[in-house]
Every structure is written in C-alpha cells, then in structure tokens.
Structure 1
Amino acid sequence: MSILRYLNSLPVFWFILSIPALLLIRSWTVGESIAMDMLHPTGELSARFMIVAMAISPLIVIFGKRGWTDWLLKRRRSFGLTAFGYAMLHLGFYIIDMEEIEAILAEIDAPGIWTGWLALLLFIPMAITSNNASMRWLKAGWKKLQRLVYPAALLTLAHWLLIHDGVGGALAHFIPLAALQLLRTIIIYNRAKSTSPQPEYSP
C-alpha cells in the first residue's frame, strides 16, 4: 500500500477526526481544563461535523460528480458519526460539570437546554442505523429516518443561539449550509421544470 493510499484509508481518517477529542480529553484529565471548559469546543465540533455531512449532497448537486465530491460522499457517514460522537462527548462533560442529576433536571425545561436534549435524541436513531445492515433492513425507510438530521440541525442551531450570548458564531456556521441547501433546491427545481413535458399549443 502506497503512503498516499494509506493516509487516505478510513482507519487513518477516523483517527484524524478523533484527534480534537483526544486533545480535549487529555487537557481535562491532566487538570489543564475543567469540564465546563469542554462544553463549548465539543458542542461546536459536533455542529461542524454535522454541517459538513449535510453539505455534501448540495455540493454534489451544485458541482456534479467530481473526484473531491466522490471522496466526500464516501466519508459522509464518517462525518455524521463523528458529529454524534462529539455530541456524546459534549453530553458527558455536561453531566460531569453539573455533578448531580437534580441539577440537570432542574434546568431541563430551559429552552437552551431542552433543544440540545431533543437534538441529541434525534441523532441517536440516525447513528444507530448508520450502517449497511440497517440500510438493507429499513430499505426506503432508511432515507426517511436519516432526514431527521434537518430538525436536529435546527434544534442544534437553536441550542447554540440560546446558550451563548452572541449569534455570530452560530450564524457563521449555519448560514453557509442554508445557502447551499437553498441553491440545491433551486437547481433541482429548475432541472425538474426543464425536463417536465410541455403542453402542446393548440390554435
């Protein structure tokens, strides 16, 4: 196996995706940071990987089949699972920071909190079924299940906006995704319109 092919393999790719998590965990375990310090970076990384995974389909529609879009498509599942992994790490640090279940339950009805919990609950079935066996078992239902990513993304955005004072960071991440999705919708609509049969003119 050549060096380039080795570096491009999925195991190496997974390791690269896990590097930020390893660094954050190390920082916490050696006492350089506390659990509360880990909440923002883990949540932000989860959102970023989710956005990357969601941006791949619009990019393929916009730019067509290219070498780089094919590379992204083959790794879309990895990006999605990585987003879930960082969301679970975010949850873990949140639980450690809160220390007691009573404290967690006391604020669960706050909009900035329940939006995060609901987004995570939507992520769970998508992550569990993100494998070939589930695709074969669920058939057409698999794609419908994976579309839960859209409400999950909206809830993630709401969670981010409500937890932090400023909106700049959240919008800087989600506006490009929204623009890509809008452009994708326009292109698909125009293609369908151009291929639809035109009514015959009768004088």
Structure 2
Amino acid sequence: MFSALKRSRPLVWLLLALPALWIGLRWAITPDAYGYGHAIADSGDWAAWLLMATLAVTPLRLAFKRSGLTLWLMRRRREIGVASFGYAALHTAIYLVRKGSPEYVLAEFTTPYMLAGWAALALFVPLALTSNDVSVRLMKRGWKRLHRLVYPAAVLTFLHWVWSAFDPTTAWIHVGILAAIEIVRIALQRAQRVT
C-alpha cells in the first residue's frame, strides 16, 4: 500500500479527500445528529491539521535528510498544502451556506475572529493557485518568496480558531504544536545556515 502511495498522485488526492467525503456523508445521512456545528468544526480542523503537516515538512527535512518518509513528504508537500486550502474553502462554503445572506456575513465580517479567518483565506488563495510545477518554473525565486505568506496565514488561521472556539483549549494545544514546529524549523535552519 505504501509503495503504491509513494508512486500514485491520484491515490494521494483520494486519501486527502476522504475526510471531506466523510463530512458530507455524515451530514447527509444524519443531519440532526451531525449538522452544521460538526461540519464547520471538522472542516476547519482538517484545514489546520493539513496546514501543520505542510509546515512540519521543512523541519523534518532538515532533521532527517535521508529518510524515505521525509523525501516523500517533500515531493507531496504542495498537494498537502492545496488540500489544506481545500478544507479551508469547504469550511468557508459551509459557513456561507449556513448564513444564507450577504447581510448576515457582512454583519459578522468586522469581528476579530472573522477578520482573521477571511485574511487567512485571502493569503492562501495565491498560494493554492501557484502550487504547481508551471508556477514554480515561471516565478523562479519569486515563488519561494510568495510562499512565505504561509507563515502569516498560519498565524491568522490559528487566531481564527482560538477566537471562534466555544472551548479554546484544543485550539491553544494546536497553537503550541504549531509554535514547536516553527521553533524547531528556525533552530535547525540557523544551525545548518539554511535560508
């Protein structure tokens, strides 16, 4: 299975899509038990988890350069990042359908947690659109500079989670994990003089 996963991009995409299919299936089959609250939370969780996985690739590469898993993650990092954006877009779509009217959306737009969420999504759009080989070739060094926007986008994503959560404890735990990933990345880059 893992050897097939290593070689097959469609299989990677299928696996990344499975949580979205599960969210949709549960909501369709048991709308009263599952419903909007679970769908919005689960789609947001998957967006954040895949974002953390994407950000963890660099410190893993720096720490375990010759690991087969690390090399595989490096080759699949863009897919994981685009999947994170996909779940963020699903999260947003669920919210917009639930609100049902621009007036309700605009009424909440200026609240800090919504501003953070919209700003994070806006930063992710150009990253998702340029996460392909053609963009890498055309943009050259500019591609890497553009994709550094992932760091402020991640901060905004987790601020949105903390500020919007009914119980922010889980969100703060994930903020701690994200901070640890970034601290390790910066420490390893400085130690290895990687820019």
Tell me if TM exceeds 0.5.
yes
Q: Do 1:36 and 1:94's aligned partners in 2 also have CA atoms closer than 8 Å?
A: no
TM-score by length of 2: 0.91
Per-residue deviation, 1:4? 5.1
Q: How does 1:133-148 map to 2 (within 5 A)?
A: 133-148=134-149
Q: Percent identity?
A: 37
Q: Which blocks of at least 5 consecutive residues in structure 1 are unaligned? A: 193-203
1:68 Cα deviation from its structure 2 partner:
1.1
Would you say 1:171 and 2:172 are equivalent positions? Answer: yes
Tell me the residue number matched to 1:39: 40
Is the contact between residue 119 and residue 156 of structure 2 (CA under 8 Å) also seen in structure 1?
yes
Instruction: Map Cα deviations across residues 44-98 of structure 1 (whole Å, 9 max, x no partner).
Output: 1000001100110011112222111101111101110100000111011001111
> With structure 1 as the length reference, what TM-score do the two structures score?
0.87
1:24 counterpart residue number: 23
Question: Are the equivalent residues in 1 in contact too, given 2:165–2:171 (CA < 8 A)?
Answer: no
RMSD between aligned residues: 1.6
**SS of residue in 2 equivalent to 1:75:** helix
Q: What secondary structure does 1:65 align onto? A: coil
* Partner Cα separation in structure 2 for residue 127 and residue 98 of structure 1: 25
Q: How many Å separate the matches in 2 of 1:47 and 1:187? A: 23
Compute the displacement of 1:128 (Å): 0.3
- Greater relative CO, 1 or 2 (CA 8 Å, sep 6+): 1
Which stretches in structure 2 are left out of the alignment for 5+ residues?
A: none
Change (3 A) 1:112 1:4: closer
Q: Structure 1 CA distance, aligned partners of 2:165 and 2:44?
A: 12
Q: Which amino acid aligns with 2:22?
A: L
d(CA) in 2 for partners of 1:29, 1:64: 44
Higher gyration radius (CA) = 1
